Amino acid sequence: MDVSRQLTQAAHPLVAGVTRAGGWALALATAGVAAARPARKPLHPRGQVWEGVLTRHGSGDQPTGVGWLDEPGRDDATVRISAAIGLPTALPDIHGLAIRLQQPEGEADILLATTGTAPGLRHVLRFTRSPTTNAHTTLLPYRSPVGPLLFAATPRGERRFDLAHAIGSGPWQVFAHLDLVRRVEAEISYDPLLNPPEGLENYPWVSRLRAPAYRTARRSRG
């Protein structure tokens, strides 16, 4: 067994403990927001829901091993654009872009938030004044056949986003564009833990980090 693998296995209990503690910290933060704002949706309380279309161009000469990313195609989408904290509109907020795709094996949810896109900033939330002036990323990676994969959505006007993926801190590769077609009145609960895109998985440490906060949010919604 090589040294790097030995070190990874030795560190596994520590990683598990840290991510579990981080998950409960996020859950406590979610519960605190719910207590301060007794509403059905303590997070992302204000937003818009759109019917949309995701048009995929494929991954070109840099395939990921995930058919949904590598092959051209079209997916119907239900998209929510929202402010995570719900601060007054005159103030910057962390903005979210939630995408629900209709795939052959069922629904897939991709949740993105305003961040930077440079390697050191892809996991750092950013306060912005508008959801259409800043890039969004998934913050945490999915497990793919070629390594940890992140998504990014970059606005191109008021009703279009370019979607890209990157492996780790590698370059972004645009594989699709998302068009917002029609505003609708709907309430949708997105869950990236239960509904990952086809061919991708959540890392166990990502699930440990996110699961307590999502359980808290579900309880607040009843």
Mean pLDDT of 161-165: 97
Domain ranges of the chain: 44-201
Residue pair 177/56 in contact (Cβ under 8 Å)? The answer is: no
Please tell me the predicted confidence (pLDDT) of residue 88: 74
Asked if the model's pLDDT at residue 27 lies above 80, the reply is no
Q: What is the 3-state secondary structure (H, E, C) of 72-133?
A: CEEEEEEEEEEECCCCCCCCCECEEEEEEEEECCEEEEEEEEEECCCCCCCCCECCECCCCC
pTM above 0.75, yes or no: yes
Please tell me the predicted confidence (pLDDT) of residue 5: 36
Please tell me the predicted confidence (pLDDT) of residue 101: 97
Please tell me the predicted confidence (pLDDT) of residue 75: 96
Q: Does domain 44-201 have CATH number 3.40.50.2300?
A: no
Do the bridges between strand 201-202 and strand 46-56 make them parallel or antiparallel, or are there none, so unpaired? Answer: unpaired
Residue with tokens 């161009």: 57
pLDDT tens-place string over residues 197-217: 999 999 999 988 887 665 555
Structure-block tokens of residue 22: 């981080």
Do the bridges between strand 160-167 and strand 173-184 make them parallel or antiparallel, or are there none, so unpaired? Answer: antiparallel
- Break the chain down into helix, strand, coil percent, rounded to 5: 25, 35, 40
Distance, in Å, from the CA atom of 54 to the CA atom of 199, rounded to the nearest integer, reads 17
Residues 6 or more apart in contact with residue 219 via CB below 8 angstroms: none
Please tell me the predicted confidence (pLDDT) of residue 51: 97
Please tell me the predicted confidence (pLDDT) of residue 10: 38
Distance, in Å, from the CA atom of 49 to the CA atom of 187, rounded to the nearest integer, reads 8
* Residues forming beta bridges with residue 179, ordered by sequence position: 53, 160
Structure-block tokens of residue 11: 């560190």
pLDDT tens-place string over residues 111-158: 999 999 999 899 999 999 888 889 999 999 999 999 999 999 999 988
Task: Identify the three-state secondary structure at position 58.
Answer: coil
